[in-house]
Structure 1
């Protein structure tokens, strides 16, 4: 796949792809595939927020190593202390040394920098690109919870990114209309879908080629993945999660994905033993992405507080219970996904009727239809040629 041109564009026409988290790389991988397919040179920048996870994802998505990694670590940033230290160092670099940032981070090129989503890396990449004099394209733009404190700081980061980007790629009509109502200064573009659709199509094809599957006769199970700090840092909320996990395990086997921060707080609050001692609960480390997609696809249902899994299950058609009171995403709602918060009646209703929430997958597209990633690249090249 990696056939790169030996000639580079003029300094003002370079494309930069800036990621830092696992979810960002998964969703931006199809965009990089599309750039390579068109033989368009680009620079790949890794902020290093999820350094260990990204290293394994590169091989799974057949991507070349980053041109520059801003934070080298053997593991992921998994604590608030590590996160603040990382954020402060990169912000200092961007704000105090813009010329050095342009040279070290962007290779001396201008052009267009793709940023994604609503993470700390989103904010860092926006500030660095702006300070270095680049234009900015915000992918997955227009998502809103309409509450600045829920989720925090994601909603605030989204608002900042949308206000200061030049190109804003909305994954759906609802997000596009949100951008229109904000009267943003940049150009809003309807991307025709979330790039997770392209990522899952790629993952499905590669998993099939490698013979990866969780679909075994008679092998029924549920999946649970909880990692948001507002859930795991409050003992009362985390205890509810453990009680729910034990309740699910009475119905069918449960694969509980043990994120490092989640494991830390389960241990801190003395709740980890309850999970370990409950029959039919299997505690699993983070899985390779291709295998994890197969796990989600074949699960009876999924319980999560994460936005990415909400999006993935919406595409896969897997029933999904979302343990949040508010979400900035519409993916799956009214279809395969149910927003439950902590409402016990809603949760119990889902567990009793989860089969009614299964739908056909959405990653198949009609022949000739442009993928979200192709639409984004086409518009970006038009922007550079304007």
Structure 2
């Protein structure tokens, strides 16, 4: 029997933690592997919430979060910090997810040591290096380095093979976010107290149609964020609507949203939600308004239409399938599109019933099998 292969799983933000905890759990359950978890804590508070609910205690915690740090300062700290961990752990392979600075620096540090990199959620492309920024370039860098590419859909797999990546290295696995959502939904069903923190808002907004909002994209900072805030203000003026808006910790988001929306009767500006409560928000919302990537995948799994407040998306599958619609950041367009869904039952049902293209909840199992095949265990 071979010794278990050391697999270093690197992540730093809340979305990465959500999308990687099913992979960590699958590796931990498989005697062929000795998983080692390293977090950068690029998002400290929001990351820790996911680690707690998932029962993950990191083996290495770089705790790199600093106020107003620059992207180059963060990247330099990540590269050297993750490099030291890799020198200590000596992993057989490194797993990164998505498109963060942590994922990009983790892939680069592994490459410098000639350690193979496995990329979860590979092949997402918007084909505009400034939308989303800096994520589009981060994932292209990882795609150049990766050994195994775990593409969530056929569209993302084709994007990789179009870039001349060996098709034998590209595997369509689905997206682990659906595994995570199924897991946490089952946990909430078994223990409703896990997501009881929204009960007061649910009672306050009883009888109203709840719109869930998230917004944090860097490329929307400034004018885009102000337009989004104005759209939310106009939407909340409808007497039959209530908005629940977990406001991102970034000051560029908070200042705009608090300035425009604080004190409105039909708007609840709340602190960022832990994962069970976010899953609860998805379940009670009629529509999700977002500039997030993950919500475009999660909401359709619960039959909720998504209006994407961005000019481009690297998840065109949702738009093609009809679960998501790009509406940009222009106030009038956001408001018109949302009201259309609220007022046209057929239009709403068409989006709500569209097939979710992002997975079936078995992605982590597929990924672990593919890694096992690769190392010959």
* Superposition TM-score tier, normalisation by shorter sequence: 0.7 to 0.9
Query: Deviation of residue 317 (structure 1)?
Result: 1.8
Match of 2:23 in 1: 31
Query: Deviation of residue 272 (structure 1)?
Result: 2.5
| RMSD between aligned residues | 2.7
Match of 1:376 in 2: 367
Q: 1:321 to 1:136 in 2, by over 3 A?
A: same
Q: Is 1:48 aligned to 2:36, yes or no?
A: no
Q: Which one has a larger percent helix, Structure 1 or Structure 2? A: 2
Aligned 1:290-305 pairs, distance under 5 A: 290-305=276-291
CA shift digits 1:249-279 (9 cap, x unpaired)? 1221111211111x44553x6x623311322
Aligned 1:233-382 pairs, distance under 5 A: 234=222, 236-251=223-238, 252-261=241-250, 263-267=251-255, 272-334=258-320, 335-343=322-330, 344-345=332-333, 347-354=335-342, 356=348, 357-359=351-353, 371-382=362-373
Q: Distance in 2 between matches of 1:45 and 1:200?
A: 23
Match of 1:178 in 2: 159
Q: 1:68 to 1:131 in 2, by over 3 A?
A: same
Q: Distance in 1 between matches of 2:160 and 2:358?
A: 28
Contact 2:104 2:142 in 1 (8 A): yes
Q: Distance in 2 between matches of 1:204 and 1:382?
A: 31
Q: Distance in 1 between matches of 2:51 and 2:177?
A: 16
Deviates more, 1:163-172 or 1:349-358: 349-358
Q: Distance in 1 between matches of 2:140 and 2:287?
A: 33
Q: 1:79 to 1:313 in 2, by over 3 A?
A: farther
Query: Deviation of residue 93 (structure 1)?
Result: 5.2
Secondary structure of residue in 2 paired with 1:277:
coil
Match of 1:138 in 2: 119
Deviates more, 1:374-383 or 1:252-261: 252-261
Task: Name structure 2 gaps, 5 residues minimum.
Answer: none
Secondary structure of residue in 1 paired with 2:319:
coil
Aligned length: 358
Query: Structure 2 residue aligned with 1:223, among 212, 218, 222?
Result: 212
Match of 1:14 in 2: 6
Q: Distance in 1 between matches of 2:131 and 2:312?
A: 7
Deviates more, 1:352-361 or 1:22-31: 352-361
CA shift digits 1:131-165 (9 cap, x unpaired)? 23311101111111112222222111111111111
Task: Name structure 1 gaps, 5 residues minimum.
Answer: 1-6
Q: 1:353 to 1:364 in 2, by over 3 A?
A: closer
Q: Distance in 2 between matches of 1:175 and 1:183?
A: 13
Q: 1:188 to 1:219 in 2, by over 3 A?
A: farther
